Amino acid sequence: MAPASGTRKARKTFSLSRESVNYLESLRKARKGKSISSVLDELIRQRREAEDMKRISASVTRYYDSLTTKEAAEDRAWGDFAATQFPNEDQR
């Protein structure tokens, strides 16, 4: 995902191993990217999204683990009801 128009970028200098630079360059070529910086931006964005998904998943797990047996049964009943509100695949 490209940065929004008008988003300012910060210029930074990093020292990377030759192996890392070669890897980034191979990704740039494979993705037909304009620059290694764009590849790094994409890798960072993907990593942040993965961390966000992991955090959300852990939060959902904590929620369901915290439910009492009665609350879990009620939640399951609502889920079963909601599933009946969608047309079957055969009816599409």
Please give the structure tokens belonging to residue 8. 């300012």
| pLDDT on residue 24 | 96
Residues 10-14, mean pLDDT to the nearest whole number: 92
In a domain, 92, yes or no: no
Which of the four pLDDT bands, split at 50, 70 and 90, describes residue 8?
Answer: confident
Rounded CA-CA distance 66/70 in Å is 11
Is 91 a domain residue? no
Q: Is residue 13 situated within a structural domain?
A: no
Report the C-alpha gap between 76 and 37 in whole angstroms: 47
- CB-based contact 23:12 (threshold 8 Å): no
pTM of the model: 0.67
Handedness of CA 73, 76, 82, 88 (dihedral sign): negative
Q: What is the pLDDT of residues 25-70, one digit of tens each?
A: 999 999 998 999 999 999 999 999 999 999 999 999 999 999 999 9
Domain count, the chain: 1
User: Measured between alpha carbons, how far is residue 83 from residues 7, 11, 67, 73 in Å?
Assistant: 43, 51, 21, 15
Domain assignment present for 80: yes
Supply the range of the domain harboring residue 51.
Answer: 18-85
Tell me, what's the pLDDT at 87?
82
